[in-house]
Structure 1
Amino acid sequence: MSLSSQQQDTTTPQEHAWEEDEEEEELQNFVTRDVELSIHVYQLQRQGAVEEYGDSGSGDMDDSVMMAHHWTLPCEELEGVWDSLIFEDRLEVKLLEYVYTTILFSDKNVNPHLVSWNRVVLLHGPPGTGKTSLCRGLAQTLGIRLSRRFHFTKLLEINCHSLFSKWFSESGKLVHRMFDQIWRMVDDDDTFVCVLIDIAFIDRADIKMYIGVPPPKAIYSILCSSLNELWRAGIIHANHPLPERKDLWHYSAHNPEHSQILSQTTDLKRISELAQGMSGRAIRKLPFLAHANYLQVSVSTMSAFLEALQRTVHDEQLSNAQLREERS
């Protein structure tokens, strides 16, 4: 199909497609020769998280405190986390650009007393919205993309609850020991260090981003990726995977060959709207619950799975409403 034909198709009214954002429309119309490609070749570390322990102060050698988890990146354990992130407003890309800017300013020796930045980002929001996954995925991606600048990338996830142990007088020593270890890491100019702390001070953060529950468009993308993974695994039988939101413009309601796929995307859109208010973590579990509760077969059609998924969303929303009523 020629480019002119594609452009003509996009002007056809799409009853089943959501209105695309301007940024997505721009991505659909780029020319490859106008794009500067940045290709990164990397090898994943097989070793996962290493637990860092410290003396609790009780006098018992067996009663040590787990202070942090320590990863050398990129690693197999965190592979794919970045690609699974789905947020509004290109949130993950904004965080990447923030890190690039901090490195640029540091490399150019910008005076921090004249241009201030603390290298701190605060992510806040309800549980299960992807804050920890975003931090881990960001660190993994930086470990890959900054490999020419830094030979090593470390992620240190601090366990604040363990640091403030029941032997309160020893907490200060544990904190000091933990950050002394971090300072030794950052002393190496060839090492990029990411520190993940589950509690932060708002006034010290350079960027404050609220990570809320996903809107319907993001829910569609999350469920679409989950269902397509089940299609890839052979659990869902269909001629084609479900199209992502950015690809819906390829399908026309006036083309009989597109009727089934458009009907399924309409069903998924309806399910996404019904799932409003659920966290990203809960949404990722919906396909599993749909299969366990309503299908229990080795292979299911896409239509049957979507029907089970809609029933599961209804069940979960009803259960959540009952929990809220009990708490009130």
Structure 2
Amino acid sequence: MEDAAGDLKQALPNVCDSVQIHVEVHQKSSSVAKKEDIRMSVLKLLNRHNIVFGDYKWTEFDDPFLNNNVQSVAIVDTDLKLKDRQPIDLSTSSLSLHVFHLNEEGPTSENLEEENDDITAAHHWVLPAGPPGTGKTSLCKALAQKLTIRLSYRYRYGQLIEINSHSLFSKWFSESGKLVTKMFQKIQELVDDRDALVFVLIDEVESLTAARSAFKAGTEPSDAIRVVNAVLTQIDQIKRYPNVVILTTSNITEKIDMAFVDRADIKQYIGPPSTAAIFRIYLSCLEELMKCQIIYPRQQLLTLRELEMIGFIENNVSRLSLVLKDISRKSEGLGGRVLRKLPFLAHALYIQSPSVTMTTFLQALSLAVDKQFEEKKNLADCV
């Protein structure tokens, strides 16, 4: 294997050396193996496969120890470092291995009044948790997930508190200020644990900031502005701690007033998924469908990086991946939630058998995309 790797490196003169590569190792929830033993086995795996072409993920292993203890080994975020798309020589790269368990218990709800209160003020996750999606909120959760894994040498685990902005007004009218303070006191208890990296996510923050504008215009009751001022005050108090990250999302950016904007260190516009992002979404869905044998037999699909490496030339290996690339391109403009649903709608609408070949499934997916744009147009015409 080492001779073959050496031959491959000679055949690829532009192999990239001496870069930092992050390797995320998902340890099975049932595994009690020591992290150091897992690291050693993963390093042996990487030594056997030391030339890679960008992000890559192993889910099956020849090593029984890895099979028993590891869900996946993933080389990640190489796009951030390799703009010229050259292969990577892992043997000369600086490897950062991040071994982690996923918390599978799901979120708990934070209700600040009666225990049987059906209005949820916030959701609370222990990180790392389950896989993220593709929307703004999911991207914030993904960022929290990624930082928890990357900073595991400093913090033992992460805490994610997602605050329900709408509930601040719908339920807490008249006692809003005190209840916001009570909620942040609970957050403060998490922050006081220096082993925890705490993320506070305020979703749809424009519902808070709009209240300030309405109050100034004389159309909003004074209690509403007390909610907003209480949130701002509490944010100012906890953001001083080194183990706190505050995240907010908004669908209506023009509604956010400067009191919130000035507090943000980073402002990032998230538009619709690009062709590359859509390709990855579809690819992950197809992998799941092949794993369940809804698509059968299993077909090897190339990543966009691998298609680039062969110059997008069509052959027996690349043909289906190029079809998926074309479907991804014509899917531009669709949101992440819709894109995740489309492979399953394709099966429900256009496939009558319990299993289907990849070629037939991609034809159905293409039809489902066309139908989605047709429905959007019909809805727009009705407005």
Instruction: Name stretches of at least 5 consecutive residues in structure 2 with no aligned partner.
Output: 1-6, 15-78, 206-247, 249-259
Would you say the 8 A contact 2:294–2:355 is kept in 1?
yes
Q: 1:170 to 1:149 in 2, by over 3 A?
A: same
d(CA) in 1 for partners of 2:312 and 2:266? 43
d(CA) in 1 for partners of 2:13 and 2:290? 30
d(CA) in 2 for partners of 1:239 and 1:160? 45
Percent identical residues: 43
d(CA) in 1 for partners of 2:312 and 2:116? 67
Q: 1:195 aligns with which of 188, 200, 204?
A: 200
Any idea what the Cα deviations from partners look like across 1:55-78, whole Å, max 9, x if unmatched? 27xxxx744632111112223xx2
**1:321 equivalent in structure 2:** 377
Q: Secondary structure at the match of 1:72?
A: strand
Give the CA deviation at 1:167.
4.9
- Are 1:237 and 2:296 matched, yes or no? yes
**1:111 equivalent in structure 2:** none
Q: 1:6 to 1:150 in 2, by over 3 A?
A: closer
**1:277 equivalent in structure 2:** 333
**1:133 equivalent in structure 2:** 138
Q: 1:305 aligns with which of 351, 361, 369?
A: 361
Would you say the 8 A contact 1:53–1:66 is kept in 2?
yes
Any idea what the Cα deviations from partners look like across 1:145-194, whole Å, max 9, x if unmatched? 22221234211011111122345211222211111221222123222110
- Are 1:180 and 2:185 matched, yes or no? yes
Any idea what the Cα deviations from partners look like across 1:116-155, whole Å, max 9, x if unmatched? xxxxxxxxxxxxx511111212222222222221234211
- Are 1:51 and 2:57 matched, yes or no? no
Q: What is the letter of the counterpart of residue 34 of structure 1? A: T
**1:31 equivalent in structure 2:** 89
**2:45 equivalent in structure 1:** none
d(CA) in 1 for partners of 2:108 and 2:178? 21
TM-score (normalizing by structure 1): 0.71
- Are 1:70 and 2:124 matched, yes or no? yes
- Are 1:209 and 2:265 matched, yes or no? no
Any idea what the Cα deviations from partners look like across 1:271-324, whole Å, max 9, x if unmatched? 112211101221111110000000132221111111101110000001011122
Any idea what the Cα deviations from partners look like across 1:173-220, whole Å, max 9, x if unmatched? 221111122122212322211001011522211111111101222212
Would you say the 8 A contact 1:55–1:65 is kept in 2?
no
- Are 1:226 and 2:285 matched, yes or no? yes
Give the CA deviation at 1:7.
5.8
Would you say the 8 A contact 2:110–2:121 is kept in 1?
yes
Give the number of the structure with larger relative contact order, counting CA–CA contacts within 8 Å between residues 6 or more apart. 1
Q: Secondary structure at the match of 1:156?
A: strand
RMSD across aligned C-alpha pairs, in angstroms?
A: 2.6
d(CA) in 1 for partners of 2:140 and 2:170? 25
Give the CA deviation at 1:25.
5.6
1:148-159 map, 5 Å = 148-159=153-164
Q: 2:9 aligns with which of 3, 6, 13?
A: 3
d(CA) in 1 for partners of 2:161 and 2:87? 40
Q: Secondary structure at the match of 1:28?
A: coil
Would you say the 8 A contact 2:324–2:362 is kept in 1?
yes
Would you say the 8 A contact 2:140–2:201 is kept in 1?
yes
Q: Secondary structure at the match of 2:347?
A: helix
TM-score (normalizing by structure 2): 0.61
Instruction: Name stretches of at least 5 consecutive residues in structure 1 with no aligned partner.
Output: 9-20, 86-128
**2:324 equivalent in structure 1:** 268
d(CA) in 2 for partners of 1:152 and 1:232? 30
Q: 1:40 aligns with which of 98, 104, 109?
A: 98
Q: What is the letter of the counterpart of residue 321 of structure 2? A: T
